[in-house]
Each structure stands twice: as C-alpha cells, then as structure tokens.
Amino acid sequence: MQKELVVVIDYGGQYNQLVARRVRESNVYCEIYSYKTDLEKIWAMNPKGIILTGGPNSCYAEGAPKAPKELFEKGVPILGLCYGAQMMMHVLGGRVETPEVGEYGKTEIQYDTSSVLFSGLPESSVCWMSHFDRIAEIAPDFRITAHTSNCPAAAVENASKNLYALQFHPEVLHTINGTEMIRRFVIEVCGCKGDWRMDSFVEEQIALIREKVGNGKVLCALSGGVDSSVAAVMLSKAVGNQLTCVFVDHGLLRKNEGDEVEEVFGPNGPYQLNFIRVNAASRYYAKLAGVTEPEKKRKIIGEEFIRVFEEEAKKIGAVDFLVQGTIYPDVVESGLGGESAVIKSHHNVGGLPEHVDFKEIIEPLRNLFKDEVRKAGLELGIPEKLVFRQPFPGPGLGIRIIGEVTAEKVQIVQDADAIFREELEKACARYGEGEGTSVSEKLGLSDRGKESKLSLSDQCAEDPRSHTQEQCAEDLKPCLPDQYFAALTNMRSVGVMGDERTYDYAIALRAVNTIDFMTADAAEIPYDVLKRVMNRIVNEVKGVNRVLYDVSSKPPGTVEME
C-alpha cells in the first residue's frame, strides 16, 4: 500500500528541512523537491498536500522562481510559507511590495481563530518573521486570517480551494504552536491519516535495498558513528554476507576510537559485517600537509576516503554498490537538498568521482534527520549506547583543527577532547545523583533519559496539544548536550607556566543543544565544570596554555568549526 505523501517544494529557504521535519512529527511522510521539478513528476507522486517554502528572492522580480498557475488549480491542498505565500498571492492576482519596515525575529501576531489552522489556539501569540517583502493586496476570493502591526496580511486563505498562505515561519520553534498549525494543514486540510512510523520506514528500506542489490556485492563506508552504524546494520539485515564493511582509520578520529570501533563491529563483535580496518593516517597527513583552507581540507579528506575504498574494492573483487550514512542535514549543507546555498561540503554527499569502480551509491538514511536516524537504530535493535553516541563528522578532527592538520595537532585535540567529554559526563552523573541541584538546574539541560526523549517525541507527534513547542523542545533535550567536543584553534598566545614563558595553542570548547541539528544553541555549561576542564587541559595536554568556550548559536555559526 502506498504511503501518504506531502511534498515540500523548495524555493531556497533556509528552513526547508525544518518544514519536512515538522510534517513528519505529524506522522506523515514528506519529501523535498526543487521548484524546478516538472509538475507532471509531482502529480505522479499523488501527493496529499504541497508546502511551498521560503526563499531569498522577490517574487515580482525578473527571473525570480515562480510556480505555474496550474499548481494551484489541481485541487491539491497547498500551504505557502513566507516567499511561498507571497508567490501564491502574486501568481493568483494579488500584489506583493517592499515596505519601508521589514520584520525579523519574534513578532506579536493576532489570529482569526475561525481558520482551521488557528482554531482553538490563542488569538494573540508570537510568531517568527523573516521577510523584506509583504503581501500588499490579497488575491481574489482569499481572506485575511492573521495580522501584525507591520504586516496586515500575515496569513490568508481560500478555504474552499484548500489554499493557505502564512507570511511567518511556523516550522521554527520560535513560532508558538507553529507545529500544530502544520499538523492542522496535513491532517485536517489534506486529510492525511498520520500513520507513518519509523518501524515501517525501516521495513520498507530493507525491502527496497534487497530488491535493488539483488545478488550484487555491497561495500559499506563504516566510520563507527551513529549514521554509518545504522546504515551498516540496515544493510546487513537486507543482504547479509553480500555486505563488506570497510572502516578507514584516517588518523583523525577521537582518542582510542579506532580500537573501539573495531571492538564493536569487528570479527569479535556482535555483528557479522565482513569488517575490514584500513590504517591510513600517514597518507592522510601527507595529503593535508600545508593545507589550511576548510573546504580544501574537506575535499582532500573526501577524495582520499573514496580512493581508499577503490583500493579495498579491488582487493575483494567486483563491488556493485557503495553504502554511505548520508543524512538530511549533510545534503542541505552541501546545497543538494533543493535550492539552498552551499554551506559546507560533506565528503559523503554528491555522488561518486569519475574514477570510482562502483555501479551505484546507496544512502538509506539520506532523507532522515539525526533524531530519526536514532529511532531507526533502535528499531534495528542496535544497543542504546551506540545509537546515542556523540555525532562525529566524516572528516573527523580535520575540521576541528583550524589551519594545517599535523600529527602533533591531532594528538593535542584528541587529548583535550577526551578530557572535556569525560568531565561533562562526570558532571552529568554527579549532579544527577543530587549534588546540590539537579542536572537541569546545573547544566541547563534536562535530566530525562534518552528513552524518555523518544517517547516524548512520539507523544508530541501523536497529540501536539499535550505540549507547547517550547515544552517539547525542553523536554526532548538529553541529559548531556546533543554534541560536545574540543577543537584546536590556530591561535597561539603568551602564557606563564612554572614561572616560565610559554607560547602555545588555545583550545576552543563547543557544546550545543539541538533537536534536529539544523539549528542549535550553545549549552550553558556551569563555570565550575568549565574551570575543571580548563585546569585539566592546560596541565595534562602538552602545547596548550589557554581554553575558550564557544557560545555561538547555529545560525549564524555551524555546529562544527570548519
């Protein structure tokens, strides 16, 4: 039976993946396509509804992306967001203009609660605006259902034709009850049943993989991180001994991580993955010598990654498919998720170089967010300690070392990172046992367990009105920050140690809280924990005399340093 589908048409908005995630929180499957996608292809998917994203353009400008009028005449429910809302009005006979004052950030808004999208919600609330154009005149047969002090048509609708347009962004957590509005659209307007679950996704993927691979041989890129581990186990369940997993130890892993990966996935571990470990640190260091530009480092690491796989493929004979643990945020930041600009390239995104001897690439997690990948891992029976392992980028410490990568610098950041992670985990356990106050109060986090995090996520998806978005965001935080690590800056400064002058590096600590890794806030690590980490690093790690804490959010920063 074909699953229900809502299509998100991307016009280059920065929140396009968040839109898809909010739809999935309503247990409705969702896929993203560029606005350039042929309409016949969209109709062939038989979507229950369509959502038009925001974008950086002015819809009335020459060459700006537009939807054909036929899109709105098919009878399929459509929800336009920000640029999507403006473009809907422009195409259907309304008028969009650039006002003297734009709206950015949290904005007070008034709703007409007779609209199905806002029924039962507070008449006055807060939404997230981010626009320089606005709807000046609504299209014929539409009515205004929300307004702000600077935006008289913050929401409009033609309910008889199932056309809805919101100038604000309901997909971001700053819009109170925004997820509920999207749920109302996909469930009540589009008529979706909301019966899509992760267990069905896993079963479908295994069946699709088995059908695609047939009798072919499969080579899996196994890093030991959450994404590649889930992909590997999924492939193992699908094709069994046809799978060979190659673990490339590029010398850019966390302290002792290479041995830990081999212990879990190697021949003595619980999985039979035809595990091969390649120790390639020296060749990576040689390739990276003298390279300081972040994108060039990423491309070198990615290219060498593929070359190692080519060599291993030749050793084991003909290989038909390459498996990678690519996930949605990787695709978005590489500019391949629709129309978004490239933020940074990912070595496992974008297909294969010309000289690769594989027939095709398989990315079973390509359409999942990180929290969805973890759910899939639990469905596959992977132990929680592996499923909830700290995220780690494919290029490894190569992008946590600012500037040139050397063996000496790798050792420094490995040791500093191990100290930071150890002290944070100790602090979480210590405060959780009742030293002074709770983990929540001391670490600015929730002391709810990981299992609770998933059950609450399901609860919010099944009955969003049981929690506000802000409560969900707070309740779903794990005991520890969602990602935390130490990075080596390229800054050296004067210090004093043992009555002697030093001229050493500064370590930057990074810890963030996030639900989907598309946006993130710095974790509020208490000063006594940071001070303990600093004391240990400057005393135990040779070559470091200064420790900094990065309080940047995403955006404007990214989670990783490069």
Instruction: Give 538's contacts (C-beta < 8 A, 6+ positions apart).
Output: 497, 544, 545, 546, 547
- Residues 474, 446: Cα–Cα separation, whole Å: 7
Can you give 437-486 as a three-state secondary structure string? Answer: CCHHHHHCCCCCCHHHHHHHHHHHHHCHHHCCHHHHHHHCCCCCCCEEEE
Q: Is the separation of the CB atoms in 21 and 369 below 8 Å?
A: yes
H or E element that contains 199: helix 198-213
- Closest alpha carbon to 342 in 330, 354, 351, 358: 330
CA–CA separation, 313 and 436 (whole Å): 56
| Mode of pairing for the β-strands spanning 49-52 and 78-81 | parallel
Give DSSP secondary structure letters for 35-78.
TTS-HHHHHHT--SEEEE---SS-TTSTT-----GGGGGS---E
Which helix (H) or strand (E) segment holds residue 158: the answer is strand 155-158
Respond yes or no: is residue 171 known to be catalytic.
yes
Other Cβ atoms closer than 10 A to 335: 16
| C-alpha closest to that of 191 among 162, 164, 166, 157 | 162
**Which residues have CB under 8 Å from 556's CB, separation 6+?**
none
Whether 25 is catalytic is: no
Rounded distance, CA 14 to CA 541, Å? 39
Catalytic entry in 131, 169, 346, 347? 169
Helix (H) or strand (E) holding 411: helix 407-432
Is residue 346 annotated as a catalytic residue, yes or no? no
Residue 156 and residue 176: Cα distance in Å, rounded?
Answer: 18
Any idea which residue has 């581990």 for tokens? 229
Which residue among the candidates 4, 25, 103, 171 is catalytic per the annotation?
171
Query: Count of alpha carbons within 13 Å of 23, Cβ hemisphere only?
Result: 28
CA 195 and chain centroid, separation: 23
| CA 529, chain centre distance (Å) | 28
CA 537 distance to own-chain centroid = 30
DSSP of 485-533: EEEEEEEEEEEEETTEEEEEEEEEEEEEE-SSSSSBEE----HHHHHHH
Q: Determine if the peptide bond prior to 555 is cis (ω within 30°).
A: yes
Alpha carbon distance 410, 491 (integer Å)? 15
How many C-beta neighbours within 10 Å does residue 148 have? 19
User: Under 8 Å CB-to-CB from 315, ≥6 apart: which residues?
Assistant: none
Active site positions, annotated = 82, 169, 171
